């Protein structure tokens, strides 16, 4: 039984407005149309006369297949034809699409030849929002009756497409906002932690000299060092003293992203690129444009991502997953790893050409056990910060003998381990009534005597810690001829400040026989 115009309008409108997702709405509409109109495809295109581009074109077939096109430049003839459709507000009947100028412009992207077409403009409140096209295989398939029926749906189609496009834009903006909120949170945490580099004048002096050399440039930098030495802190210092300091610093842990999501996270993806890609997403490189990207644990990158990163370094361009458009990115790359990349190159696990690109200016950050002169300052810095975080007032102090105990430890976890130790001891110390003095009773120093004193000290089994330290200082003074400061002095051998050593000697009753 043939439906009346009212029934057709009602049922078709329900299908058109069945989803805020543009693809689903178009597919549902096509399935309904096929009951009345010999349609094989529907398409939605957004046309901008000023730029002479089809900015968006989505084609859906009756089997659910889809084709999303990048912006397509149009010829003058095509612009004229499309403007004429928009101007009339009527439906344009095309008997042979291969003769239509727009189809010729689309040929490098999609072949719509040997079809008939109904083209209808969509508008809301005097503003054009696109052109809706129904396609059928063959020539001269559509009749004026088909066109009149389709024209009944111009209003519902315009409303549905306007809502769907606005919803899609909201989803895209929400994704951008979520990403920028995460970046802002990271930046606030970074600023809250302070910009001071502890040890910049002592154990990290050479590192900071290299930072000052490379920061004003745009050259790639690779930071090498054990886990926990503070590679991200150094990357912050490079960015903060560079010409890009007003741009974003985007930190990415390459080892923390699942391999199947790595390309999408780094380079972004287009809508529909894979299951779950409901909206276009900018990757970390686009978010860092105009600033710096810090790629931590670069040695964890899989081969496919290494190839794409090499292209970024060579050509300063990316392509989103599922996209065909090349996007230029102005971003400085700082990489970091605790692994031996040269060994990975020899083993075939890391690309040699990528290693050469990254290894322009390597900065090796020494482990904490090689810069023990920084331990007092680091301990007091973490003590102050963690006391505030844990709301411990008044702030405890660290006795000098406990600082010396910290220096005797080998710190396999480096600065991060020291930070965690301070926090742990503050928690243990709460309510113990230690007169505001922090003691590191839980710090185990394996092989204390054998590792810190040249040769075994006699009778150490019955000595207190202070007695062991005093014996070690005396033996060191004997080896240095009694010299405390200066080159090859006891302070340098023990890795402490001369003033600290003198204070310790005074407390332990060791006389000052030499300057």
208-248 confidence digits (pLDDT tens): 999 999 999 999 999 999 999 999 999 999 998 999 988 88
The kind and range of the H/E element at 133 are strand 127-137
CA 383 – CA 443 distance, rounded (Å): 16
Query: Is 458 found in the same domain as 489?
Result: yes
Last residue of a domain, one of 313, 333, 364: 364
Note whether residue 195 is domain-resident: no
User: What CATH number corresponds to the domain at position 145?
Assistant: 3.30.450.40
Q: How far apart are the C-alpha atoms of 296 and 60, rounded to whole Å?
A: 42
Higher model confidence: residue 350 or residue 27?
350
Do residues 236 and 154 share a domain?
no
Distances (CA, A) of 463 to 10, 36, 403, 468, 470: 95, 99, 19, 6, 10
pLDDT digits (tens, 9 = 90+) for 302-343: 988 899 899 899 989 998 888 888 888 999 999 999 988 988
Confidence band for 54, pLDDT divided at 50, 70 and 90: confident
Q: What CATH number should be reported for the domain holding residue 425?
A: 1.10.8.60
Judge if 150 and 298 occupy the same domain.
no
Burial 120-133 (b: 16+ CB within 10 A, else e): bbbeeeeebbbbbb
Give the CATH number for residue 223.
3.40.50.300
The encoded tokens of residue 477 equal 């003074």
Q: Which two tokens stand for residue 128?
A: 């054009």
Instruction: Report helix, strand or coil for 251.
Output: strand
- 181 lies in a domain? no
Q: If DSSP codes are grouped into helix, strand and coil, which group holds residue 122? A: strand
Q: Quick one: 283 and 145 in the same domain?
A: no
pTM of the model: 0.55
Closest Cα partner for 399 from 340, 491, 456, 465? 465
User: Based on the domain organization, do 237 and 322 belong to the same domain?
Assistant: yes
Which residues, in sequence order, are CB contacts of 109 under 8 Å at separation 6+?
57, 69, 70, 72
Q: Is residue 407 part of a domain?
A: yes
Residues 44 and 76 reside in one and the same domain: yes
Report yes or no on 101 lying in a domain. yes
Which DSSP state fits 368? Answer: G
Confidence (pLDDT) at 455:
44
Does 183 reside within a domain? no
For residues 220 and 331, give the distance between their C-alpha atoms in angstroms, rounded to a whole number: 10
Which of the residue ranges 106-115, 165-174, 410-419 would you say has the lowest mean pLDDT?
165-174
Nearest to 133 by CA among 64, 184, 192, 85: 85
Residue 227 belongs to a domain:
yes
Domain, as residue range, for 239:
200-364
DSSP string, 300-355: G--HHHHHHHHHHHHHSEE--BT----EE---EEEEEESS-HHHHHHTTSS-HHHH
Pair (133, 76) in one structural domain: yes
Per-residue pLDDT band at 127 (split at 50, 70, 90): low
Same domain? 43 vs 143: yes
Q: CA 512, CA 515: separation in Å to the nearest integer?
A: 7
Lowest mean pLDDT among 49-53, 75-79, 341-345, 436-440: 49-53
Nearest alpha carbon to residue 27 among 272, 268, 270: 272
| 402 and 353 both lie in a single domain | no
| pLDDT at 183 (0 to 100) | 63
Rounded Cα gap, residues 344 and 302, in angstroms: 12
Of the candidates 364, 386, 404, which is a domain's last residue? 364
342 and 219 in one domain? yes
Could you tell me if 20 and 163 are in contact, meaning their C-beta atoms sit under 8 angstroms apart?
A: yes
Q: Do 55 and 156 sit in the same domain of this protein?
A: yes
Minimum mean pLDDT range among 17-21, 203-207, 374-378, 511-515: 511-515
With a cut of 60, say whether residue 454 has pLDDT above it: no
Does some domain include residue 67? Answer: yes
Total domains in the chain come to 4
- Whether 66 maps to a domain, the answer reads yes
Query: Domain check: are 140 and 218 in the same one?
Result: no
């Amino acid at each position: 039984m043939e439906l009346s115009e009212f029934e057709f309008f009602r049922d078709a409108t329900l299908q058109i407005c069945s989803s805020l997702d543009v693809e689903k709405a178009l597919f549902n509409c096509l399935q309904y149309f096929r009951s009345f109109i010999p349609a094989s495809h529907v398409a939605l295109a957004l046309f901008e006369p000023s730029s002479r581009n089809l900015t968006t074109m989505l084609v859906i077939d009756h089997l659910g297949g889809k084709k999303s096109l990048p912006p397509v430049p149009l010829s003058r003839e095509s612009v004229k034809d499309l403007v004429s459709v928009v101007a009339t507000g009527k439906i344009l009947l095309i008997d042979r699409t291969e003769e239509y100028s727009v189809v010729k412009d689309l040929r490098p992207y999609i072949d719509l030849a040997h079809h008939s077409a109904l083209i209808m403009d969509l508008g809301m409140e005097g503003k054009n929002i696109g052109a809706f096209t129904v396609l059928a295989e063959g020539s001269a398939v559509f009749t004026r009756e088909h066109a009149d029926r389709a024209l009944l749906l111009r209003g519902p189609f315009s409303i549905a497409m306007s809502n769907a496009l606005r919803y899609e834009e909201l989803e895209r903006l929400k994704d951008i906002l979520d990403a920028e909120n995460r970046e802002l949170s990271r930046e606030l945490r970074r600023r809250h932690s302070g910009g001071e580099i502890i040890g910049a004048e002592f154990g990290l002096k050479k590192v900071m000299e290299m930072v000052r050399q490379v920061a004003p440039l745009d050259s790639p930098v690779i930071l090498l060092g054990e886990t926990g030495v503070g590679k991200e802190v150094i990357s912050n210092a490079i960015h903060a003293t560079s010409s890009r300091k007003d741009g974003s610093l985007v930190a990415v842990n390459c080892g923390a992203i699942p391999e199947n999501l790595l390309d999408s996270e780094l380079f972004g993806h287009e809508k529909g690129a894979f299951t779950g890609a409901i909206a276009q997403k900018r990757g970390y490189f686009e978010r860092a444009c105009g600033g710096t990207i810090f790629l931590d644990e670069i040695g964890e990158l899989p081969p496919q991502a290494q190839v794409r990163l090499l292209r970024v370094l060579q050509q300063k361009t990316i392509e989103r997953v599922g996209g065909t458009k090349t996007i230029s990115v102005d971003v400085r790359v700082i990489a970091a790893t605790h692994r031996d990349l040269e060994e990975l190159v020899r083993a075939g696990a890391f690309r040699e050409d990528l290693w050469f690109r990254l290894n322009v200016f390597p900065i090796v950050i020494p482990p904490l056990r090689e810069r023990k002169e920084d331990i007092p300052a680091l301990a007091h810095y973490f003590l102050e910060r963690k006391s505030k975080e844990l709301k411990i007032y008044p702030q405890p102090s660290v006795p000098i003998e406990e600082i010396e105990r910290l220096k005797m430890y080998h710190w396999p976890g480096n600065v991060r381990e020291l930070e965690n130790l301070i926090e742990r001891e503050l928690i243990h110390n709460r309510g113990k009534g230690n007169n505001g003095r922090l003691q590191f009773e839980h710090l185990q120093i394996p092989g204390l005597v054998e590792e810190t004193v040249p040769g075994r000290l006699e009778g150490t089994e019955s000595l207190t810690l202070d007695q062991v330290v005093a014996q070690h200082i005396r033996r060191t003074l004997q080896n240095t001829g009694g010299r405390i400061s200066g080159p090859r002095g006891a302070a340098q051998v023990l890795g402490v400040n001369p003033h600290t050593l003198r204070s310790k000697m005074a407390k332990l009753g060791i006389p000052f026989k030499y300057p």
